[in-house]
Amino acid sequence: MNTEKRDYFYEYILYFWKKKWLIIGIPVIVAILAFAASQLLAKGYEGTATYYAASPKVNYLDDPELIQAEYGDKYGMKVEPTESKKVKFTVEGKDRKTVQDVLTKGTNAYEKALMDNYNSRLESTQKYKDIYEKRLATIEKTFQIQNDLQANKGLSWQEENASKLAEGVSINNDTVTNLQDTVKGMETDLFFFKKDKPRLMSKEITKQSNHAKANTIIGFVFALFLTLLGLMLSKYIGDARAREERRHD
């Protein structure tokens, strides 16, 4: 039984050796055809631009679906979802200049809207901060006058007037504290505004990959597998027919 197995295996080795040029030739031809087809079917050029959108507070500048409707469809770009606060535009085409023109026109429109939104929010925050600072300075001056007046009047002043003045000092003290907290909050907002500024992260135009190397390797391996499988089936059928003929004889 062991001898039969060894003879069977040896027969297949000899059979494959006789067919070695077929085993090598078919995969090589298929690999060459796969490489040539990959070169011929190359799509052209791909332009990409990735923006850091920060936090624009308006959906049409950071929501992929709304950006696609507002800018992608209008300029012929595709908006791809990316990680948080980032927006990626993609343009495909046969001609490099056409791809570049479409990408530049579309991204310029988006970048202008993005920066207009950023500058508007920055200027608005700075404006309100200045207003609150002026108000704070005025109230602090009034608060200081009230404090000095209360200290100078002392216990000799009429009790009713002293009570009203103390109440005014208390109210102004709360107002000063609230305004100081507001101004500090706005200073923090402005700090992060300037650190978290929208910007273009990358922009490039590249020739689209035709995956020629991968297709060539896959074509070779697949053709080799099919060739070996076909030869094995061919030998199996040939042996089966030979046994059948010997049985009839």
The values of phi and psi at residue 43, to 5°, are -75, -30
Which of the pair, 89 or 151, is modelled with greater confidence?
89
Report the range of poorest mean pLDDT among 77-86, 89-98, 162-171.
162-171
Look at residue 237 and tell me if it is in a domain: yes
Whether the model pTM is above 0.75: no
Residue 179: band (very low, low, confident or very high) from pLDDT cuts 50, 70, 90? low
* Neighbouring C-beta atoms of residue 18, cutoff 10 Å: 11
Enclosing domain of residue 225: 1-42+212-242
Domain-located, residue 35: yes
State the total domains in the chain. 1
Q: Which residues pair with 92 in a beta bridge?
A: 46
CB atoms within 10 A of CB 53: 21
Q: Poorest-confidence range of 57-66, 84-93, 137-146, 164-173?
A: 164-173
> Which pLDDT belongs to residue 3?
44
The dihedral built from the CA positions of residue 68, 71, 74 and 75, taken in this order, carries a sign that is negative
**Domain-located, residue 68:** no
178 occurs within a structural domain: no
**Is it the case that residue 147 has pLDDT exceeding 70?**
no
Rounded Cα distance between 196 and 193, Å, is 5
DSSP 8-state code for residue 155: G
Is there a domain that residue 172 lies in?
A: no
Beta-strand relationship, 45-52 and 199-207: antiparallel
Whether residue 85 lies inside any domain: the answer is no
| Structural tokens at position 187 | 């200073």
User: What local confidence, expressed as pLDDT, does residue 198 receive?
Assistant: 84
Closest by CA to 229, choosing from 2, 8, 85, 27, is: 27
Judge whether 108 lies within some domain: no
